[in-house]
Amino acid sequence: MKRRYLLIPIAIFGIVYSCATNPFTGKSTLALVPDSQILPSAFQQYSTFLKENKVVTGTADAQRVVTVGTKIKNAAEKYLNANGYKGYLKDYQWEYKLVESKEVNAWCMPGGKIVFYTGILPITKDETGMAVVMGHEVAHALLNHGQQRMSADVLQQLGSVGVGAAVGNQSESIQKIAMQAYGVGTQYGVTLPFSRSHESEADKVGLTLMAIAGYNPEQSVAFWERMAANSGGNAPPEFMSTHPSNTTRIANLKALIPQAKAEAAKYGVTFK
């Protein structure tokens, strides 16, 4: 899915290095931009987006978005409570909206603000297909990917300042070449792999969440096969994309399904 990131003005100087350990991965990740700044901005931008777009209400599909979203949210809380993180989502303000658009997409902003576009409904097909997408999008928020992306952007800005200083006494043409090389290098060497790793993490955690919520994770494969068919093969090479290729993603999901089922079994959820 295409990601939506916040536009927050950040001072890039005088930053104190900060990390946070995520309960879903156990990894220590960059947290240069605090939730106290991210969440209010996310809520405001979500509100603005809803005012500027057509929100679908009173339909079975609109209710399904709420139903599935609530089940995925409850699954996340079960996982967090069971692993010693009760109250971890206290600052989240969950909201689930269906928006009229031909775009085949859905997203979740930091703090649990979720949008599904009507354009993705023919591919989700049913509640389980929607749970695949909902689990993936909610996972992005729970994994603090927006915070990590903004933190990485801060560091890249600092890096570009350093490159500029290093070639500051060179000719204008050399300076231009150096800055262009830095931009390309960070895009293909850092930004895109960073985004692909986020997508893979969201796939893994999303699969677990949908399973705990009672949705068969095996159906994730069928959904992504439909997504692949919908794209018609029109996708850039994986190394130039922010997302794993459909083939890579499907193979990874197949390998993760047993683990997702095993995790769901801890909460009394089993599948035939």
Alpha-carbon distance of 71 to 267, in angstroms, equals 14
Nearest 5°: the CA angle 167, 168, 174 is 50
Question: How many CB atoms lie under 10 A from the CB of residue 75?
Answer: 24
* 131-174 pLDDT, tens digit each: 999 999 899 888 876 655 665 555 555 444 443 444 445 555 54
For residue 128, give both structure tokens.
């389980």
Residues 143-180 as b or e (16 or more Cβ within 10 Å = b): bbbbbbbbbbbbbbeeebeebeeeeeeeeeeebeebee
User: Would the pLDDT of 120 be above 70?
Assistant: yes
- Asked whether 127 and 67 are in contact (CB, 8 A), the reply is yes
Kindly state the greatest CA–CA separation across the chain.
68
For residue 247, give both structure tokens.
């083939």
Map out the domains of the chain as residue ranges: 35-151+188-266
Q: Among the listed ranges 56-65, 193-202, 219-228, 260-269, which one has the minimum average pLDDT value?
A: 193-202
- Asked whether 224 and 246 are in contact (CB, 8 A), the reply is yes
Q: What is the model's pLDDT at position 145?
A: 61
* 6-58 pLDDT, tens digit each: 444 444 333 444 556 778 877 766 655 666 777 888 889 899 999 999 999 99
Q: Pick the residue with more confidence: 232 or 83?
A: 83
Alpha-carbon distance of 157 to 197, in angstroms, equals 21
